[in-house]
Amino acid sequence: MADAIIGASNEMDATKQDLIAALVQKELKFKAKLAPMATDVSRFAVKGSKTVSFPKLGSFTVTNRAAGAPADAASISSTADQLDLSFVAHINYIVDPAEAIESVLDWELECASRAASAHARYVDSQLLGVLETNGQALGSVTGDVSKSNFLTMRKTLLENDADLDNLLFIAPPAQEAVMLGITEFVDADKYGSSNIPNGVIGRLYGVDVMIHNGITTSDRYHMFDRSALYIAFQVMPTYGEQKEVSYGPEAMRVAIEQKFGVKAGQLGEKSLGSTVSALIVSDGN
């Protein structure tokens, strides 16, 4: 009896597609530095909605109840923020099998990996756009990063009720050498534990520091409370393929797409403009 050949009748195609889809998800998670730092409200991005409405809760006020006396019940304020699901990020490509067969590369995997990386950079670029658009520009913070500039940004956020444990400072690669010239940044004993999130290169005065090459202006930098940066995925990155026989009987057109939205929170608070977040600050350069 002749041996049975696994894959001779394309039995592995579904498994192959699952493997590539898993690769796409893994690559996106690894390459997107800023997205994991944002507050994810994807659970509110239900089918059929163009926007995400998610609750923004206030806080309780503590009172000192006298012994034997009842206390009045307290209430908590609740408002809703709106996030537009405005980005349908898409890439499609075709690999010519006549060319691919002459290469030692696995073109299906390599192309999928690079498409996923491009998607990750696109998501991060939209989040960086939120920092640019909705950050409060501090006129006194100019030039390169300095100890004084860093502390001014930190002080402004804390005065606006930011959570110190939730702060992130983000700067371009051009500022990394400048940061390394700040003694407190390179001295681990002064900035605390090195047990910090992936993508963060250190901590200064309790604030995590990230270098991001998506910031293309050399002297641009931001600091923010992560609770003020929102992202919602209505459609997680999805991989699909179909025959494209005009490039050969085995040629495939591959598409990778995701649908999401981004938004800044705490807009207009602390007597700031309606498009300015109280929990995002930027340099005044």
Question: What are the pLDDT digits (tens) for 175-213?
Answer: 988 988 887 777 654 545 555 566 677 888 889 999 999
| pTM for the model | 0.82
Statement: residue 37 has pLDDT above 80: yes
Cite the DSSP H helix spans in the chain. 13-31, 97-100, 107-134, 147-159, 176-179, 183-186, 188-191
* Terminal alpha carbon distance of the chain: 77
Residue 115 pLDDT exceeds 70: yes
167-171, strands of its sheet edge to edge: 136-138, 280-283, 222-225, 167-171, 207-211, 200-204
Nearest alpha carbon to residue 50 among 259, 274, 265, 255:
259
**Tokens of residue 235, six digits:** 């459609």
pLDDT in tens, 136-166: 999 999 999 999 999 999 999 999 999 999 9
Task: Give 227-279 pLDDT, tens digit per residue.
Answer: 999 999 999 888 888 888 888 888 888 899 999 999 998 888 888 888 999 99
Average pLDDT, the chain: 83
Q: Is 211 buried (19+), middle (13-18) or exposed (0-12) by CB count in 10 A?
A: buried
Q: Which domains does the chain have, with CATH numbers?
A: 13-56+81-283 (3.90.1690)
Pairing label, strands 222-225, 167-171: antiparallel
Inform me whether the pLDDT recorded for 81 exceeds 90: no
Tell me the backbone φ, ψ of residue 260, rounded to 5 degrees: -155, 175
Q: How far apart are CA 181 and CA 178, in angstroms?
A: 5
